[in-house]
C-alpha cells in the first residue's frame, strides 16, 4: 500500500477532533484525542506489515502533532495577529478601511470572523485536503519571500473550509494549544509517559514521534538513554520566583528540606556548555538555540580556544550549567544586560566576535560563570545531590579560574533567617539583580520550574511594590491593520507630561476595550505629525515608518498601573507590563518624573521591608482585585433599617472605585446581601452608566432590573428606602420578580399620614395604638414581597463569573481567554 497515513487521513477529520477536544470537559479531552489516535494506528497497521522497517518508523504521528503542538515544531511562520489580518484582507481584496472592525477583537473571535469572511466571500473548494497536503502547503509558506508567502496563503484560503481555516489560522500565529485548551505536557503523556521527558532532553518533536511508533502506553521505552544528552540541546532546570519577605526563609527551608546555598543572580544569558571528546564544544541557550558555530565548535577556534586551557587534562567530557556574561576591563566589573559599558556602547554577550588572534584585544570580553555540572566523564549526574555535584565541579573540572574567562560562582551556606536577610540586603546595596537559592540535597530536573525542586530566585521586583501609575499619552499603531502595537507612557514633569517609556499593548480585554473608547473620545486621536505643546521627550512619527503615532487628546489621557523590573541606563522601563487600567485616577495623578527616576532604588528598599506569607499550592493563585473581592460591611457603616433584608444585590460598576465601595456600603445599611458578581440569585443590579460593557451585557441578557446608582445615593441622603421612579431605572426586565416601584419607605410614611388625617375626621373612632417594632419590620418586608402570581426568572448559573488569574510563571499554559463579549464579565468600576 503506497503513501503514508498522513496522505489518507483527511485534514477535516483532524479539525473535527480538535474542535471536539476544545469543547469537551477536561476528563473527556483525552478520550477524544485517543479515539483519533486509535484510528490512525489502525491505518498504520494496515499499511505496514514490517513494523520495524525504516518506512514504518518514519510514518509517525508527527504530521498531526506538528499542527497541534506548533510551538514545539521547528517550522515558524513569523506571523502574528496583525499580519494574519493583513494577509486575509489582501487575499480577499478588502479595502483597508474594513480593518477597524477587527482591531479590538480577542484572538479567538478575530480568527472566527476572518474564517467566516473568507468562507462567505470565496466559498470552500470541493477538494478534500489530507493532513500531509495541509502540511505541504504550510511548509511552502515558511522561509519564503513575502510575495511567495502571500501566494501560498491565498492557496490555503481557497482550499480550506471555515472550520479548517480556524485551525490553520491558529497554527500560523502559534495559538493552537491555547485555542484547543491543551498543553504540550498532556498531549505528550497521551502519546507515551516517556515522550515528554524525551522532548525536554532535547529530542525534536519528529524524533519523539518516530521513537514511539508502535510502542504501547504500557511498554517501557528503551529508545532514550539518559547518557545520550551529551552534545544535544535540552531544557535546563529553571528557578522559581520567590519574593523576599518575612516568611521567605520558612518557605525555603520547607521546600529545600533543610540546608540551602545562596549565589549571586547574574544578569546575563543562561548557557549550557558541552565539552565533547576530541576537543569539540557545543553551546546551547535555555531556549535550545545552538551558538556553537558562533562561539567555536573546536578548541582551536573563537571563544572555545580561550576556554580550553582552563579545563583539567583528565576531563574527557562534561556538561556545565552557567551564565554567559560580559566583563568590562576598565571598570573591572560585569556589564548587565541593557546597560552601557565603559565605552558608552551596548553589547550582547552572544554576539561579540572573537577569534584566537584578535578576540581579546577589546576591553569588553565574553566570560562564563559556572553553577553546576550535569555530566562528567560519560556519567549523568542529574540524579546526584547538588552538594556532590558541586564537589565534582570544584575538584575535577577546572584547573584554574579567571573572572575574565571562566570561573565557578561563589556560594554561601545559609545558617538562619538573619543570615539570609544580610545576604539579600548586601546584594541590594550593591545594585545586583538579586540572589539565587538552591537546596543542598536538590536534584537536577530537566525543564522544570517548581517549588518542590528547591530552586528559587529572589529579586527586588517580585511583589506588589514594583508598580507605578503612568499616563498613556500616545499609541503606536500598524498603518495597514490599525492594530495597537504599543502605548507610549509618560510621567508628570511640572505642568507637562514627559515621555518615559513604551509598553506592549497586551491587556485584559475587560480593561482594554473601555480604555480604548476613552482614549479616542472627543473627536479621536491627534495627528502624529506634530507633538502637542503639553508633551515633551517624544518625537513625531516618521513618514517611512510602518507604524503610525497617534497622540491622545489631553482630556482623554488614561492612567495605567505598570509593573517593571527597574530602569535601564537610558531611563526606559526594564521589562514593563500593564497590570490594569486605573479608571479611578485623573491624568494629573500620574507618577512624578523625579519619583519615576528613583523607581529602581525604591523597589529595592521596599523589598527589604516586605511583610507577607507566601502561599504555595499546586495550582496558581492570583491576588484578588478589590473590585472582585467579596464585599464586607464596615464596622463604622450606619444602619438605615431592614428595608432590603433578605434581598441580594450586585453593584455592576460605578464611576470610580470610591463610589463603587460607597454604593456597596449603602446597600449594607439597608440590610441587603451584597454580591460581588451578578449571579442568578440577585434580586436587582446597580450601575451608573447604561453604555458600560458590564451594564450593556446585562441589558442584553434582559433577566434583571438595573437601577441607577444615584437612587442609592438619594436613599442615603434621606436615610430611608425610596420608591423607584422612571428616572431611577436604567433597564427594567419583564422577567425580574423584584420591584420597588411605589413600594419605598417614603410612600409608607405618606400613607400613614393620610390614614391619621382620615381617623381625625371620623368621630367616635377608637384611637389605634402604634405598631410594635416587630410589626413595623414585618410591614416593611411585606411591602417588598413580590406579587404571588409573578413568574420566577429562569436559573442561569452561567452568570456567575470568577475573575481570571493573573499571568504569572510559564509552568503551565493557561486556558484561552473568552473572546465572546456576551459572556458576563465580573463587575468593575469605570
- Same structural domain, 284 and 419: yes
For residue 160, pLDDT over 50 is answered with: yes
Residue 574: inside a domain: yes
Within a domain: residue 463? no
- Could you tell me if residue 312 is inside a domain? yes
How many domains are there within the chain?
4
In this predicted model, which residue has the larger pLDDT, 827 or 639?
Answer: 639
Same structural domain, 151 and 18: yes
Confidence of residue 2 (pLDDT cuts 50, 70, 90): low
Query: Residue 590 and residue 430: Cα distance in Å, rounded?
Result: 30
- The pLDDT of residue 221: 52
Of 664, 667, 687, 688, which Cα lies nearest the Cα of 676? 664
Examine the domain organization and report whether 311 and 426 are in the same domain: yes
Quick check: 170 and 84 in contact, CB under 8 A?
Answer: no
Average pLDDT over residues 249-261: 93
When mean pLDDT is compared over 46-60, 91-105, 734-748, the highest value belongs to: 46-60
Q: What's the grid cell of residue 829?
A: 468600576
Q: What is the mean pLDDT of residues 575-597?
A: 92
pLDDT for 810: 37
- Residue 91 is predicted with a pLDDT of 85
Return the pLDDT at 754.
Answer: 45
CA nearest to 8, candidates 46, 54, 35: 46
pLDDT digits (tens, 9 = 90+) for 170-222: 999 999 999 999 999 899 989 888 888 888 877 889 988 988 887 776 665 54
**pLDDT for res 355:** 55
> pLDDT digits over 449-461, tens only?
999 999 999 999 8
Task: Examine the domain organization and report whether 205 and 274 are in the same domain.
Answer: no
- Asked whether residue 781 carries a pLDDT value surpassing 80, the answer given is no
**pLDDT on residue 780:** 36
Average pLDDT over residues 94-123: 81
pLDDT band at 627 (very low <50, low <70, confident <90, very high): low
| Residue at 28 is within a domain | yes
- Sign of the torsion formed by the C-alpha atoms of 275, 279, 285 and 287: negative
Q: Are residues 656 and 512 in the same domain?
A: no
More confident position, 541 or 698: 698
pLDDT at 816: 40
pLDDT band at 400 (very low <50, low <70, confident <90, very high): very high
Is residue 551 a part of any domain in this protein? yes
Return the pLDDT at 374. Answer: 95
Q: Count of alpha carbons within 13 Å of 299, Cβ hemisphere only?
A: 12
Please say if the pLDDT value at position 615 is more than 70.
no
The CATH number linked to 675 is: 3.40.50.10190
Q: d(Cα 688, Cα 660) in Å, to the nearest integer? A: 10
| pLDDT, position 555 | 94
Are 513 and 634 found together in one domain? no
Confidence of residue 225 (pLDDT cuts 50, 70, 90): low
Most confident of 223-227, 707-711, 733-737: 707-711
pTM: 0.66
pLDDT score for 545: 80
Residue 740: pLDDT above 50?
yes
Q: Residue 227: what pLDDT?
A: 65
Determine, yes or no, domain membership for 232.
no
Q: What is the pLDDT of residue 131?
A: 94
Q: Please, what sign has the CA dihedral across residues 401, 402, 405, 408?
A: positive
Residue 752 has pLDDT above 60, yes or no: no
Kindly report, residue by residue over 690-722, the tens digit of the pLDDT.
988 889 889 988 999 999 999 999 999 889 999
The confidence score (pLDDT) of residue 656 equals 82
Q: What is the CATH number of the domain that holds 87?
A: 1.10.3260.10
CATH number, domain with residue 441: 3.30.470.30
446 lies in the same domain as 529: no
In a shared domain, residues 448 and 482: no
Helix %, strand %, coil % for the chain, to 5? 35, 20, 45
369: left (phi over 0), alpha (psi -120 to 50) or beta: beta
Lowest mean pLDDT among 341-345, 477-481, 529-533: 477-481
Other residues' Cβ atoms within 10 Å of the Cβ of residue 623: 9
Q: Are residues 138 and 18 in the same domain?
A: yes
Residue 546 pLDDT greater than 50, yes or no: yes
Distance, CA of 786 to CA of 197 (rounded, Å): 62
Is 619 among the domain residues?
no
Whether 230 is covered by a domain: the verdict is no
Find the helix or strand (DSSP H, E) in which 658 lies: helix 657-669
What is the average pLDDT score of the chain?
83
Rounded Cα distance between 237 and 448, Å, is: 5
* Whether 260 and 175 share a structural domain: no
Of the listed ranges 555-564, 650-659, 786-795, the least confidently predicted one is 786-795
Residues 86-103: tens digit of each pLDDT: 888 888 888 776 777 777
The reply to whether 384 and 513 lie within a common domain is: no
CA pair distance 181, 177, nearest whole angstrom: 6
Location of C-alpha cell 504500557: 218
| pLDDT over threshold 80, residue 805 | no
Q: Which CATH number covers residue 528? A: 2.40.50.140
**Domain interval for residue 676:** 628-758+771-830
Are both 36 and 182 inside the same structural domain? yes
Residue 143 clears pLDDT 90, i.e. is over it? no
How far apart are alpha carbons 340 and 783 in whole angstroms?
74
What is d(CA 670, CA 666) in angstroms, rounded to the nearest whole number? 7
Amino acid at each position: 500500500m503506497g503513501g503514508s497515513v498522513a496522505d489518507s487521513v483527511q485534514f477535516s477529520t483532524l479539525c473535527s477532533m480538535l474542535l471536539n477536544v476544545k469543547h469537551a470537559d477536561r476528563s473527556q479531552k483525552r478520550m477524544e484525542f485517543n479515539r483519533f489516535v486509535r484510528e490512525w494506528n489502525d491505518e498504520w497497521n494496515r499499511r505496514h506489515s514490517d513494523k520495524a522497517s525504516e518506512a514504518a518508523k518514519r510514518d509517525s504521528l508527527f504530521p498531526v502533532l506538528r499542527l497541534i503542538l506548533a510551538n514545539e515544531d521547528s517550522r515558524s511562520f513569523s506571523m502574528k495577529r496583525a499580519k494574519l489580518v493583513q494577509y486575509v484582507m489582501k487575499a480577499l481584496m478588502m479595502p483597508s478601511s474594513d480593518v477597524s472592525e477587527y482591531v479590538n477583537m480577542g484572538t479567538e473571535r478575530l480568527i472566527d470572523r476572518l474564517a467566516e469572511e473568507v468562507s462567505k466571500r470565496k466559498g470552500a473548494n470541493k477538494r478534500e485536503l489530507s493532513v500531509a497536503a495541509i502540511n505541504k502547503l504550510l511548509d511552502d509558506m515558511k522561509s519564503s519571500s513575502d510575495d511567495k508567502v502571500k501566494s501560498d496563503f491565498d492557496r490555503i484560503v481557497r482550499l480550506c473550509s471555515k472550520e479548517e481555516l480556524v485551525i490553520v489560522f491558529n497554527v500560523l500565529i502559534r495559538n493552537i494549544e491555547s485555542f484547543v485548551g491543551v498543553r504540550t505536557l498532556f498531549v505528550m503523556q497521551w502519546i507515551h509517559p516517556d515522550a515528554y521527558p524525551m522532548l525536554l532532553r532535547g529530542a525534536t518533536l519528529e524524533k519523539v514521534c518516530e521513537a514511539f511508533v508502535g510502542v504501547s502506553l504500557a511498554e517501557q521505552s528503551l529508545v532514550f538513554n539518559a547518557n545520550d544528552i551529551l552534545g544535544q540541546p535540552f531544557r535546563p532546570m529553571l528557578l522559581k520566583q520567590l519574593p523576599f519577605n518575612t516568611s521567605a526563609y520558612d518557605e525555603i527551608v520547607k521546600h529545600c528540606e533543610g540546608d540551602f546555598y545562596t549565589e549571586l543572580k547574574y544578569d546575563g544569558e543562561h548557557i549550557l556548555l558541552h565539552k565533547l571528546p576530541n576537543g569539540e564544544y557545543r553551546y546551547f541557550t535555555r531556549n535550545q538555540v545552538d551558538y556553537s558555530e558562533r562561539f567555536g565548535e573546536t578548541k582551536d577556534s573563537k571563544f572555545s580556544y580561550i576556554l580550553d586551557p582552563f579545563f583539567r587534562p583528565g576531563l574527557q567530557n562534561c556538561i556545565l550549567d552557567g551564565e554567559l556574561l560580559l566583563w568590562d576591563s576598565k571598570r573591572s566589573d560585569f556589564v548587565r544586560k541593557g546597560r552601557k559599558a565603559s565605552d558608552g556602547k551596548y553589547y550582547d554577550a552572544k554576539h561579540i566576535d572573537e577569534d584566537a588572534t584578535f578576540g581579546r584585544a577589546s576591553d569588553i570580553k565574553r566570560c562564563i560563570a559556572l553553577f553546576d555540572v550535569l555530566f562528567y566523564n560519560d556519567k549523568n549526574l542529574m540524579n546526584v545531590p547538588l552538594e556532590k555535584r558541586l564537589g565534582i565541579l570544584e575538584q575535577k573540572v577546572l584547573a584554574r579560574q579567571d573572572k575574565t574567562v571562566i570561573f565557578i560562582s561563589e556560594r554561601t551556606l545559609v545558617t538562619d533567617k538573619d543570615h539570609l536577610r544580610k545576604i539579600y540586603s548586601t546584594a541590594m546595596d550593591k545594585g545586583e539583580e538579586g540572589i539565587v537559592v538552591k537546596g543542598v540535597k536538590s536534584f537536577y530536573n530537566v525543564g522544570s520550574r517548581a517549588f518542590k525542586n528547591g530552586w528559587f530566585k529572589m529579586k527586588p521586583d517580585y511583589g506588589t511594590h514594583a508598580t507605578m501609575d503612568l499616563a498613556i499619552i500616545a499609541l503606536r499603531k500598524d498603518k495597514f491593520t490599525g492594530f495597537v502595537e504599543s502605548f507610549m507612557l509618560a510621567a508628570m514633569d511640572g505642568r507637562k507630561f514627559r515621555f518615559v517609556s513604551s509598553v506592549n499593548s497586551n491587556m485584559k480585554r475587560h480593561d482594554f476595550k473601555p480604555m480604548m473608547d476613552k482614549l479616542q473620545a472627543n473627536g479621536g486621536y491627534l495627528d502624529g505629525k506634530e507633538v502637542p505643546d503639553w508633551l515633551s521627550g517624544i518625537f513625531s512619527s516618521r513618514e517611512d515608518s510602518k507604524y503610525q503615532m497617534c497622540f491622545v487628546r489631553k482630556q482623554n489621557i488614561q492612567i495605567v498601573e505598570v509593573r517593571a523590573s527597574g530602569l535601564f541606563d537610558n531611563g526606559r522601563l526594564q521589562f514593563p507590563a500593564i497590570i490594569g487600567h486605573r479608571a479611578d485616577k485623573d491624568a494629573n495623578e500620574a507618577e512624578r518624573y523625579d519619583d519615576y527616576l528613583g523607581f529602581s532604588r525604591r523597589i529595592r528598599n521596599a523589598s527589604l521591608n516586605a511583610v507577607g506569607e507566601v502561599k504555595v499550592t499546586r495550582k496558581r493563585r492570583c491576588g484578588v482585585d478589590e473590585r472582585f473581592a467579596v464585599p464586607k460591611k464596615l464596622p463604622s457603616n450606619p444602619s438605615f433599617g431592614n428595608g432590603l433584608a433578605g434581598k441580594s444585590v450586585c453593584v455592576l460598576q460605578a464611576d470610580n472605585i470610591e463610589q463603587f465601595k460607597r454604593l456597596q456600603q449603602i446597600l449594607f445599611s439597608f440590610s441587603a446581601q451584597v454580591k460581588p458578581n451578578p449571579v442568578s440569585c440577585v434580586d436587582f443590579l446597580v450601575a451608573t452608566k447604561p453604555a458600560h460593557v458590564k451594564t450593556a451585557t446585562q441589558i442584553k441578557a434582559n433577566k434583571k432590573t438595573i437601577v441607577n446608582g444615584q437612587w442609592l445615593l438619594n436613599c442615603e441622603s434621606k436615610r430611608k428606602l425610596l420608591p423607584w421612579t422612571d428616572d431611577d431605572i436604567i433597564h427594567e426586565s419583564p422577567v425580574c420578580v423584584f420591584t420597588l416601584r411605589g413600594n419605598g419607605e417614603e410612600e409608607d410614611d405618606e400613607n400613614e399620614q393620610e390614614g391619621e388625617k382620615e381617623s381625625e375626621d371620623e368621630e367616635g373612632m377608637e384611637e389605634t395604638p402604634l405598631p410594635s417594632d416587630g410589626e413595623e419590620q414585618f410591614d416593611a418586608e411585606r411591602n417588598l414581597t413580590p406579587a404571588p402570581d409573578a413568574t420566577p426568572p429562569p436559573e442561569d448559573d452561567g452568570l456567575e463569573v470568577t475573575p481570571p488569574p493573573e499571568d504569572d510563571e510559564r509552568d503551565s499554559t493557561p486556558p484561552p481567554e473568552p473572546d465572546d463579549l456576551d459572556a458576563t464579565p465580573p463587575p468593575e468600576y469605570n
